[in-house]
Amino acid sequence: MNELMKIRDVSSRYDVTARTLRYYEDMGLLTSIRNDDVAYRMYDENAIRRIEQILILRKLNISIKDIKRIFDSASSELILDVLGKKVENIDDEVALLQELKEIVLDFIQEIERINFTDNSDIKQLYDKAKEIETQIVKVDYVGKPNNVHRLIEITDKLDKKVPDVMVVRVPAFRGLSSGAHSWEELFKPGGYMFQLWQHYNSFKPVIFDCLDFTMVKNDDTGEMICAINDELRQEDVSPLEIVDFPGGLYAMAVSIDEDDESIRKVQDKILQWIETTNFELDESRSFMFNMPYLDEENAYQQDIEKGLGYRQMQRYLPIKLKKA
């Protein structure tokens, strides 16, 4: 019988966490040996070889999905195809970086022509940039795009700031809802959000220690909902409503600083991610967002000053498995 290695020894030798090894097993990439005599996982020589293969492929930034396809294949053709596409992607990124370098060098020459410490020159440069930006938005360019236009395209493609998408299951819960209203009615002083948070002591966390979700019904209306304990009754909360939130699967990612551009990028990247999976957008449910605070009883501006340094918005898009 082959010599067996304990999971902690494998973790130490290959600098990989035990949690990651268990994840590889859950994904069907790896098999361990367990019996009644020991409580921990053991790996034989074949499993160790498989771990080495997985770690090599992950170092090459091959996705878990593609690694499983490679292992399920009976030939080496698939891995050659996956690696070939990886080389193409690297070549594309190198070309983009080279073009970005050339644009930055052009901008350096432009800036060298002006006095960047002079307020009038800075304003002139800013006004010119705004003028070009307006033209980019309103004009269909023919032929080679100008530097600013191409810069936007390149930086969008190279942008790695948006975190990976996670699939989360929001559990069903009994909730206190504002009902669907205009954004102005929700967030104005004394509005529905203010009325909702008067019942703060009855709230309880749902996921990631966030107490509330804001569901986007459409561009003009939204609904806020918080999970509540069983003691709160409808007669105590009018004009708010006590509802049963059904929960479900969501694709979630984070935007930082809550600016519109950051939110748009996160939304777009979640949608792009969904297209590469066995999920599809569940259009029967609304997408949602919420914001975790260090101290739920204080304004999030105070939380920023305490140490976060930014506002963090978590974006949830409802998903469901594609039909076979």
Model confidence at 137: pLDDT above 90? no
Model confidence at 177: pLDDT above 90? yes
So what's the pLDDT on residue 49?
92
| pLDDT, average across residues 31-39 | 74
d(CA 298, CA 208): 18
Question: Residues 41, 21: contact at Cβ < 8 Å?
Answer: yes
| Pick from 76-80, 82-86, 133-137: least confident | 133-137
Count of all residues that appear for the chain in the document: 324
| Pick from 133-147, 209-223, 224-238, 288-302: least confident | 133-147
Phi, psi of 203 (to 5 degrees): -80, 155
The candidate with the shortest Cα–Cα distance to 165, out of 270, 23, 267, is 270
Written in H, E and C, the secondary structure of the chain is CCCCEEHHHHHHHHCCCHHHHHHHHHCCCCCCECCCCCCCCEECHHHHHHHHHHHHHHHCCCCHHHHHHHHHCCCCHHHHHHHHHHHHHHHHHHHHHHHHHHHHHHHHHHHHCCCCCCHHHHHHHHHHHHHHHHHHHHCCCCCCCCHHHHHHHHHHHHCCCCCCCEEEEECCEEEEECCCEEHHHHHCCCCHHHHHHHHHHHECCCECCECEEEEECCCCEEEEEEEECCCCCHHHCCCCEEEEECCEEEEEEEEECCCHHHHHHHHHHHHHHHHCCCEEECCCCCEEEECCCCCCCCCHHHHHHHHHCCCEEEEEEEEEECCC
Q: Which residues are registered as beta bridge partners of 216?
A: 222, 287
The C-alpha R_g of the chain, in whole angstroms, comes to 26
The percent of residues above 70 in pLDDT, for the chain, comes to 73
- Can you give the pTM of this predicted structure? 0.56
Out of 53-57, 74-78, 140-144, the most confident range is 53-57
So what's the pLDDT on residue 245?
95
Pairing type for strands 287-290 and 312-321 reads antiparallel
Residue range 252-304, pLDDT digits in tens: 998 775 556 667 778 888 998 898 888 999 999 999 988 776 554 454 444 44
Name the residue with higher pLDDT: 214 or 217: 214
So what's the pLDDT on residue 58?
84
| pLDDT, average across residues 221-245 | 92
Model confidence at 25: pLDDT above 90? no
Question: Residues 11, 21: contact at Cβ < 8 Å?
Answer: yes
Residue with tokens 């409503």: 241
The domains of the chain, with CATH numbers, are: 5-72 (1.10.1660.10), 83-158 (no CATH), 166-321 (3.20.80.10)
| pLDDT, average across residues 234-257 | 90
Model confidence at 102: pLDDT above 90? no
Residue range 89-101, pLDDT digits in tens: 888 878 877 887 8
So what's the pLDDT on residue 324?
66
Q: Which residues are registered as beta bridge partners of 226?
A: 176, 212
Model confidence at 139: pLDDT above 60? no
Model confidence at 140: pLDDT above 60? no
Residue with tokens 């009038």: 120
**Nearest-5° angle of CA 216, CA 222, CA 223?**
105
Q: Which residues are registered as beta bridge partners of 227?
A: 175
Name the residue with higher pLDDT: 118 or 307: 118
Q: Is 290 exposed, middle or buried (0-12, 13-18, 19+ CB in 10 A)?
A: buried
